[in-house]
Structure 1
Amino acid sequence: MSDIRKVVLAYSGGLDTSIILKWIKMTYDCEVVTFTADLGQEEELDGLEDKAKKTGASKAYVEDLQEEFARDFIFPMMRAGALYEGRYLLGTSIARPLIAKRMVEIALAEGAQAVAHGATGKGNDQVRFELTSMALAPQITTIAPWREWTFKSRTDLVNFATEHGIPVPVTKEKPYSCDRNLLHLSFEGGELEDPWLEAGPASYLLSVPPEKAPDQAEVIELGFEAGNPVSINGEQLSPAAIIKKLNKLGGKHGVGRLDMVENRFVGMKSRGVYETPGGTIIHAAHRDLESLTLDREVMHMRDSLIPRYAEMVYYGFWFSPERETLQVMIDKTQEKVTGTVRVKLYKGGVYPVARKSPYSLYNMDLATFEADKVYDQKDAAGFIRLQGLRVRGFKAKK
């Protein structure tokens, strides 16, 4: 403890990290530098630098990392088609390695001996932050207050905040723990801790309820190059701008809502509500374009690896040799995933209705139900007989 003279804290300005800033200064008697990554939180960043300094920070970094986040983290994950447990688009998970990476870089530049985070001892984020720090700067110590202090609940934190004059962003009307970034908005806590209770209206912000979405469907065209979305309705946009625009379009139509119970890496089940409007549209359109451009066996092999890739992201192994190796293979499959997908947005759904690509593997002469000169249907009989040798032999021995 006496060796720690300066700490870089991943700071959101919320309840936990506000108290952690004050607690570290009191406990370690050291200088605290805060780092806040602008990953698309929008209004949540207003006044954050001033708040950090008023709470005791010697310096406060607030950096716009949205384009790096979209280009180098979200898009590679989207190219892999990653879904955790077949449903979750990993909005919180994919943000943590970037935050931790930049936090470590600042710690090295500032000559800090430690970094700190506000993840609880029950959550996944502690693993994600610390595995990233270990991978990039193993000599730096990590302080995890939730594993050290005597506070037992968020009620204890509210009492501490009140005692030290720290503004409290949690109320009885909105008792949620929220995480917002360019890709999604998540809610945990409150009535969501009971999986039998329906999520209240305050647990959704980015999207309208599907039943209140417009009665008229909206059709858009999403352009891709090498597996990445690059345009909307023919307009070329930056990675972050594409996600922002799709968030608005999807939110308008109630797209991207998910209420699920998931298996945390640390071993417990937890219930969360996620809103991922733009990511849901990208995922659906990307999958659809792959159906036109990927070889069958390549697609099936890649699909078999999606659960593993998603686990790497969810568990915090972004900066691991296995994820980086798998990414090389994934990106090889995406070289010709280029083209345009037309999708219909309606009442919470994303419906691909047309697709085209200069690398299309679709052969109308082969697929047609009309007369053709390229396929002899009699050949199928021999194909089926050969496929049946194994199953016929197996059944005969029973």
Structure 2
Amino acid sequence: MPATQINKVVLAYSGGLDTSVILKWLQQEYDCEVVTFTADIGQGEELEPARTKAQAAGVKEIYIDDLREEFVRDFVYPMFRANALYEGEYLLGTSIARPLIAKRLVEIARETGADAISHGATGKGNDQVRFELGAYGLNPEIQIIAPWREWDLLSREKLLAYAEQHGIPVEMKREGNKSPYSMDANLLHISYEGYDLEDPWVEPGADMWRWTRDPQEAPNTPQEIELRFERGDIIAIDGNPMSPAQVLAELNRIGGEHGIGRADIVENRYVGMKSRGCYETPGGTIMLKAHRAMESLTLDREAAHLKDELMPRYASLIYNGYWFSPERNMLQAAIDQTQSVVNGEVRLKLYKGNVMVTGRRSASDSLFDTSIATFEEDAGAYDQGDATGFIRLNALRLRVAGRKGRL
């Protein structure tokens, strides 16, 4: 406990076992008032029970905020303009949700006059870093309480015993419905960790996946969809204008039906350990494929290649918790500048876990010139003889090195 007296804390609260215990623990250990904040970022769960539980625990200020549109518009869409993939595979579904939660925690602390914020992330994971780096960036003076780094309740059994001792109601699901995995969901993805996944050799069970069909059991008929882009963001599906959150929800639905977006990854956590996780990101998988197709038609070669060089650094910044940082802001400004020309339509075919591009067009910003690219007679649009000098100039250093026997 810090030397400074804590009078009020804003807790990121789900109403589950961990945060229900944290709520009572904060009230006892810090002798403070607790404000609860529950974010709806598309996890697909009923959130009103969290209000009832918080009220039963004596909480007077309860925030339950629908942040789905802000999440996709201000966090997911900017990230996808960069084509971000961490370590070549992970679409950053958990990572990108944390800065929004940190932002809202800090805002609520300011609104309620709270001295501190608190979260339920453990001392082994990345989320503690993401929450706290984001919070410190937005409010350098904020105090942060991380119970998992302070208490000795380091097992589910101890948490349950604490809950029973203090009369904290715990919703015990029937064994048949209870997942053994640690799961995290939002509008971009759902993740699975722990249990048998802790052995990287074990194949995930077929009953683990929640959002996507087994690709082998997906429809035998492909489905075609058309996505319209404006400044790098999807604004319509099959000609129907949609908000960012609506776009992602619909792509999740369509993609899940066709078994798209499953990933099984061993990743390098920022805190130093390797971790195995499984992810379902159906809408995000479609978005990434479509966005790259749109850029292939509209972006200049060197701008596109430079974006690809910067992307791994950008993805690592998000994974490691540096969304609110000068370097991410700098990269975002550069990325967004390129997106002014990423306008048009992409047609995709979805089939048994695969996303295939079947067409792309841009009436105003396409750099594809048929008169130059054609294999037929080009009527002088491109002088093939120019290639001789181009090749000889680029071969000069190779010829010099070759004469020295260095190649």
CA contact 2:20–2:168 (8 Å) conserved in 1: no
Gaps of 5+ in 2: none
Give the root-mean-square deviation of aligned CA atoms. 1.4
Match of 1:167 in 2: 170
User: Is the counterpart of residue 311 in structure 1 residue 313 in structure 2?
Assistant: no
SS in 1 for 2:45: helix
| Residue 235 of structure 2 is aligned to residue 233 of structure 1 | no
Paired position in structure 1 for 2:14:
12
Aligned to 1:118: 120
Q: Is the 8 A contact 2:15 2:49 kept in 1?
A: no
The aligned amino acid for 1:383 is F
| Deviations, residues 218-259 of structure 1 (Å, cap 9, x unaligned) | 000000000000000000000000001111000000111111
Distance 2:286 2:354 in 1: 9
Deviation digits for residues 50-85 of structure 1, max 9, x if unmatched? 122223433221000111111111000010110111
Rounded to whole Å, the distance in 1 between the matches of 2:203 and 2:174 is 19
1:178 equivalent to 2:180? Answer no
2:5 matched to which residue of 1?
Answer: 3
Residue 338 of structure 1 pairs with residue 343 of structure 2: yes
Q: Cα distance 1:366–1:396, how it changes in 2: closer, same or farther (>3 A)?
A: same
Q: Is the 8 A contact 1:158 1:168 kept in 2?
A: no
The answer as to whether partners of 1:292 and 1:360 remain within 8 angstroms in 2 is yes
| Correspondence for 1:248 among 253, 256, 275 | 253
Q: Give, in whole Å, the separation in 2 of the partners of 1:115 and 1:21.
A: 12
Percent of matched pairs sharing the same residue: 58
1:46 Cα deviation (Å)?
4.0
**2:373 pairs with 1:367:** yes
TM-score (norm 1): 0.97
- SS of the aligned residue for 1:203 comes to coil
1:90 is matched with: 92
* DSSP-derived class of the 1:85 partner: coil
Aligned residue among 23, 32, 41 for 2:43: 41
Structure 2 counterpart of 1:189, one-letter code: G
Question: How far 1:87 sits from its partner (Å)?
Answer: 0.8
Displacement of 1:159 after TM fit?
3.0
Closer, same or farther in 2 for the Cα pair 1:169/1:311, shift >3 Å? Answer: farther
- Aligned residue number for residue 225 of structure 2: 220
* CA shift digits 1:75-122 (9 cap, x unpaired): 000101101111111111111000110111101111111100001001
Structure 1 residues 140-180: Cα deviation after superposition (integer angstroms, max 9, x where no partner): 21000010001222332233234434314677651221111
Contact 1:210 1:254 in 2 (8 A): yes
Residues 262-305 of structure 1: per-residue CA shift (max 9 Å, x gap):
00000001111111111111110000110000000000001000
SS of 1:41 mapped into structure 2: coil
CA contact (8 A) 1:185 1:275 kept: yes
Inter-partner Cα distance in structure 1 for 2:118 and 2:144 = 6
Please state how far the C-alpha of 1:376 moved relative to its aligned partner.
2.1
Give the TM-score normalised by structure 2: 0.95
Structure 1 segment 58-137 matched on structure 2, within 5 A: 58-137=60-139
Residue among 279, 282, 291 paired with 2:287: 282
Distance in 1 (CA, whole Å) between partners of 2:224 and 2:215 is 17
Is 1:25 matched up with 2:27?
A: yes
After superposition, the Cα gap between the structure-2 partners of 1:296 and 1:170, relative to the gap in structure 1 and judged at 3 Å, is farther
Partner of 2:210: 205
Could you tell me how far apart the structure 2 residues matched to 1:238 and 1:38 are?
16
Of 147, 153, 156, which residue of structure 2 is paired with 1:154?
A: 156
- 2:397 corresponding residue in structure 1: 390
Instruction: Name the counterpart of 1:347.
Output: 352
* Rounded Cα–Cα distance in structure 2 between residues aligned with 1:237 and 1:156: 46
The answer for unaligned runs of 5 or more in structure 1 is none
Q: 1:85, 1:307 within 8 Å by CA — same for their partners in 2?
A: yes
Range that drifts further, 171-180 or 264-273: 171-180
2:340 counterpart SS class: coil
Aligned residue-pair number: 398
Give the aligned residue type for 2:272. Answer: G
* Matching residue's letter, 2:334: M
Taking the aligned partners of 2:208 and 2:59, their CA distance within structure 1 comes to 31
Matched, 1:302 2:307: yes
Letter paired with 1:187: Y
After superposition, the C-alpha distances for 1:178-204 in whole angstroms (9 at most, x for unaligned) are 111111111111111111111123431
Aligned mates of 1:329, 1:368 — CA distance in 2? 33
Q: Is the 8 A contact 2:36 2:59 kept in 1?
A: yes
Distance in 1 separating the partners of 2:289 and 2:403:
44
Aligned to 1:261: 266
* CA deviation profile, 1:348-371 (whole Å, cap 9, x unmatched): 111111000021000111111111
Quote how far apart the aligned CAs of 1:379 are. Answer: 1.8
- Equivalent residue of 1:219, what SS? strand
Contact 1:222 1:342 in 2 (8 A): yes
**TM-superposed deviation, 1:138:** 1.7
SS at match of 1:201: coil
1:335 partner SS: helix
